[in-house]
């Protein structure tokens, strides 16, 4: 199974809502990532979890809160978002170590903040 799944596919939320994005992989990867991708732009790294510990937080606003309940699951909790946070949110996973690091991406959640 080389699949990374993400739910929901689409999400529309108001600026006062609280919602969560979910990501799951069953490839035994020990690194999981959240990216934000605006239209016609490259993905921007937000968070990296390595062995279920938050390893990288690329100065992301606190209205985004990641969580890694176990090695297969990754959540992104959203609260009080702004319209400029509307984007495609991609989850990815990879092995960690020599000869690896290639990322497997999910299909993304298209988020619209109204």
Does residue 95 belong to the site contacting another protein (CB under 8 A)?
no
**Contact status, residue 92 vs residue 85, Cβ threshold 8 Å:** no
Torsion of CA 25, 28, 33, 38, to 10 degrees: -40
Burial tier of 4 (Cβ tally within 10 Å: 0-12, 13-18, 19+): buried
In angstroms, give the least distance from the CB of 64 to another protein: 18
Does residue 15 belong to the site contacting another protein (CB under 8 A)?
no
Contact with another protein (CB under 8 A): which of 1, 42, 70, 83? 42
In angstroms, give the least distance from the CB of 68 to another protein: 15
Does residue 1 belong to the site contacting another protein (CB under 8 A)?
no
Pairing of strands 44-50, 53-57: antiparallel
Contact with another protein (CB under 8 A): which of 16, 40, 59, 84? 40
């Amino acid at each position: 199974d080389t699949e990374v799944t993400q739910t929901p596919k689409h999400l529309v939320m108001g600026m006062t809502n609280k919602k969560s994005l979910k990501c799951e992989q069953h490839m035994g990867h020990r690194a999981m990532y959240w990216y934000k991708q605006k239209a016609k732009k490259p993905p921007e790294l937000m968070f990296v979890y390595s062995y279920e510990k938050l390893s990288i937080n690329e100065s992301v606003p606190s209205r985004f809160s990641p969580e890694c309940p176990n090695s297969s699951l990754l959540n992104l909790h959203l609260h009080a978002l702004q319209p400029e946070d509307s984007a495609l949110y991609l989850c990815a996973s990879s092995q960690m170590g020599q000869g690896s690091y290639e990322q497997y991406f999910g299909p993304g959640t298209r988020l619209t903040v109204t």
